[in-house]
A and B are shown apart, each in its own frame.
Chain A
Amino acid sequence: MEMPTPECPEESKISAALAVGEIPAYLLPHLSTCPICAAIHSTAMQMRLLASHLAAEAAPSATSMWWRVTLRMRREGVRRAEKPLIWMTRISCGVAALTAALLALSIPMPSHPAAEIGCLALSAVVIPVSIILWGWSRSKI
């Protein structure tokens, strides 16, 4: 169970005055006697000093930020548009590999040595190409 924090009825007025940037004269005597409001005022002053110190560092210009943000938006747009194409490539690679496998199973193995060499050469080309395409489509995601 936490201790309740001490409260001052003028706290909200002091905060509002700090937001405006000027403490009205009628609150000044209170500010000098109330520890809660004095702490609020003192913290606000320290925070503003810190903020003005940090704001002295140059931020990117609005034009450069607009350019960066819109460029990124365009890139994201392209990436989103490419996604279905990449999936289509993956699916076609899979279907091609499956079809090749089914064909290989359905065709009786030729007995002629030249035909055997031809089949092996074809596999040696089809399999790496499928793997490369698959890898390429993965790298695009």
Chain B
Amino acid sequence: MDEESFHAFYEQTARNLRGYLRSMLIDPAMVDDLLQESYFRLFNANLPASAEYGHRRNYLYRIATNLVYDHRRARRLEELPDDLAAVQAPATAQDIGRAFRRLKPKDRDVLWMAYVECFSHKEIAEVLRLRSASIRPMLARARARFADILRRRNIGE
């Protein structure tokens, strides 16, 4: 990957990937470390220059997901505090963030990939190394749990 194509790919993916990492981890410094590590590993993987954008993006997410899980394992499942972000934000976004952080990591993964990245079920299955057929019920359960947490916190749907 040359500098120009790296820049283009980074511009397309970094914001959402950082958002994903931010939603999974507490420490903003760790978020940027894992972001850098993800791009480093992608770069190091030497994917063929002809690799499609979607393939690169899925590969990047697979790396990031593994890094998050390794990090959580190393930190013995750090529990996520309620204050999702130190940055100021509209109350609803923060409330949604708080509810989101109450979900299990796998639920957060599938919801983020399905509704932020708009990955297909097949793509989610590839990233998470699961069977494609299991994604739809996983998503349904994650949605239900998310709605339940929001409801209990009186956050409108």
Contact = CB atoms under 8 A, between A and B. Distances in A.
Judge: A and B partners, yes or no: yes
Interface of A: 2, 4-7, 15, 18-19, 36, 39-40, 42-44, 46-57, 59-60, 62-63, 65-66, 68-69, 72-73, 76
Interface of B: 3, 6-7, 10-11, 14-16, 18-19, 22-23, 28, 32, 35-36, 39-40, 43-44, 85, 87, 89-90, 92-94, 96-97, 100, 111-112, 114-116, 118, 136-137, 140-141, 143-144, 146-147, 150, 157
A51 B19 contact: yes
A76 B44 CA distance: 10
Contacts of B143: 39-40, 43
Contacts of B140: 5-6, 36
Contacts, number: 116
Given A47-B116, A54-B22, A60-B14, 7 more contacts: A2-B137, A6-B140, A43-B147, A51-B19, A55-B18, A57-B18, A62-B7
B35 A59 contact: yes
B141 A5 contact: yes
A36 B137 CA distance: 12
Contacts of B3: 66
Contacts of B137: 2, 4-5
B108 to A, nearest CB: 10
B18 A66 contact: no
Contacts of A40: 143
Contact of B6 (A4, A51, A66): A66
Contact of B118 (A19, A56, A68): A19
